[in-house]
Structure 1
Amino acid sequence: MKIHEKLIEVVGRLKARRVLDIGCGPGDLVAELFRQGLDVVGLEPTELAGVAEEKCGVGRIIRGSCYDAYDENRFGKFDVVIASEVIEHLYLPRKLVEFSAAALANNGHLVLSLPHYGSYWRNLFIALTNRWDYHHTPLLDGGHIKFFSKNTLSIILNEAGFDVILWDQVMSRRAPIFPMSLIAVARLKDAVYPAVSRSGEEPPGSTVRDLR
């Protein structure tokens, strides 16, 4: 399964109606979600915003960055924010998480995909095949500069008021026994549905089984 296919599956399980795709690139995911009937907006800071706009239509792509202050009056609120293979490129990854929190409606969800550098077996394979220099090359402009595990990603999500409710992964196409990408689904905690209710019951959308 490709990363975008997995993300589309997750968005469907979350029953989202309005979606923001941060770092949407050429707009492939935005276009597919729009075809499926969702109100979806893409955010892209590079010249690829023009490519995405041609593909997705005027007004559906915003030229901007998650480093900018979120303008709720302009953009409103979203049920789901997606950032696919973006956070590992950022000098300030907390900015993406904070921007997402500002963009989400009550009990909204942040869906992240990123390289699965927390996998022991994947890292062992990379080491045994002498490919660390390729994966950590400093020669690629705009390459990967942050390498997250579940633990370190959970830390910055929790700091911004998110609870991770689902971990998933996408397997490598070339070596399908190894995970390629990590998928994290995190719910924004708010005053309407706190993390645990006073009755001890779990709120809607707070557990993995609510998504399955």
Structure 2
Amino acid sequence: MDEFRAAPVHTSRGYRYHSANVNPSHAYLLPAVRRLLSRCGSADRRIFEVGCGNGAVANILTAEGWEVTGVDPSDEGIARAREAYPHLRLAQGSAYEPLSETYGTFPIVLSLEVVEHVYAPRDYARALADLLEPGGHAIISTPYHGYLKNLALAVTGKMDAHFTALWDHGHIKFWSVRTLTELLAEAGLDVVEVLRVGRVPALAKSMVLLAEKPRRTG
């Protein structure tokens, strides 16, 4: 499909966007996102997207009836989004800022393929939790790492390509289900479902977690 052909380019400046199209990873991420959104059970169809990139995912979800607000630190990504999707509420910003003070809280927070890039993941996780209403849900994806996949990468000699050590601002944190669950738990979020997507589960390209913010008690 043409909509899945334009991937961001790895450069010394981090991500650069040649278009406002989705990239190939969205071919397996979006079906998982839709499945988890259906599990959230919220009549309030507002989503806050942390790391909205070029706005492609926000545009698709908006067309499906969601009301999406989003931020991304990439000036080029936001410029592409504003040019292609002027109807969307997207702005430059990051999880290192007090986003909930600016935008309020939401029933759903979405963040796809972002946590592996952040230098302070606890700040990122707290930002997601602060953006969520009590009882709200976060949907977070990141490249999957597990014993069998790491072994396969080592045996096939693909470790260097996978870890992208020469990509400035590239992947700097490599998460397993356990470590990402622990990170979210520290921020007060309970993981309720994990999907492994992109290949067979043991060799999955990414994992998509659904986490819930407990309702206040007392």
TM-score range, shorter chain: 0.7 to 0.9
Quote the residue 2:161 is aligned against: 134
Q: 2:198 aligns with which of 171, 176, 183?
A: 171
Distance 1:148 1:176 in 2: 15
User: Matched residues, percent identical?
Assistant: 33
Find the residue that maps to 1:4 and give its secondary structure. Answer: helix
One-letter amino acid of the structure 1 residue matched with residue 127 of structure 2:
F
Equivalent of residue 143 in structure 2, options 115, 118, 137: 115
Q: Which amino acid aligns with 1:121?
A: L
Task: For residue 69 of structure 1, report the CA deviation from its aligned partner.
Answer: 1.3
Residues 72-91 of structure 1, C-alpha deviations (whole Å, 9 max, x = no match): 3x412211111100000111
Candidates 145, 154, 160, aligned match of 2:181? 154
- 3-state SS in 1 of match to 2:142: strand
Partner Cα separation in structure 1 for residue 144 and residue 160 of structure 2? 17
Do structure 1's residue 76 and structure 2's residue 104 form an aligned pair?
yes
What's the TM-score once normalised by structure 2's chain length? 0.80
Residue 188, structure 1, aligned to residue 216, structure 2: no
Matched, 1:34 2:62: yes
- Give the 3 Å change call, closer, same or farther, for CA 25–177 of structure 1 in structure 2: same
Q: Which runs of 4+ in 1 moved over 3 A?
A: none
Q: Deviations over 1:156-186 (max 9, x none)?
A: 11111111100111023xx887211011111
Tell me the TM-score normalized by structure 1.
0.82
Structure 2 residue runs of 5 or longer lacking an equivalent are: 1-26
Show the counterpart of 1:14.
40
Alignment RMSD (CA, Å): 1.9
Q: In the alignment, which residue of structure 1 is the partner of 2:29? A: 3
Separation in structure 1 between the aligned mates of residue 84 and residue 134 of structure 2, nearest angstrom: 30
Aligned mates of 2:201, 2:147 — CA distance in 1 = 15
Equivalents in 2 of 1:110, 1:5: separation in Å? Answer: 16
The answer to whether the Cα contact below 8 Å between 1:20 and 1:41 also exists between their aligned partners in 2 is yes
- Per-residue deviation, residues 85-117 of structure 1 (Å, max 9, x unmatched): 000011111111111111111211111110101
Tell me which of 32, 36, 43 is aligned to 2:71.
Answer: 43
Shift in Å at residue 8 of structure 1?
2.4
**2: distance between equivalents of 1:157 and 1:149?**
12
Residue aligning to 1:206: none
Between the two proteins, the alignment pairs up a number of residues equal to: 189
Deviation digits for residues 52-74 of structure 1 (CA, Å, limit 9, x no counterpart):
122332561021111001243x4
Deviations 1:136-164 (A, max 9, x none): 23211121100111111111111111111
Cα offsets for 1:16-52 (capped at 9, x unmatched): 4110111111111100110011111121111211111
Alpha-carbon contact 1:171-1:177 (below 8 Å) kept: no
What's the secondary structure of 1:164's corresponding residue?
Answer: strand
Mapped to 1, the partners of 2:189 and 2:196 lie a distance apart of 19
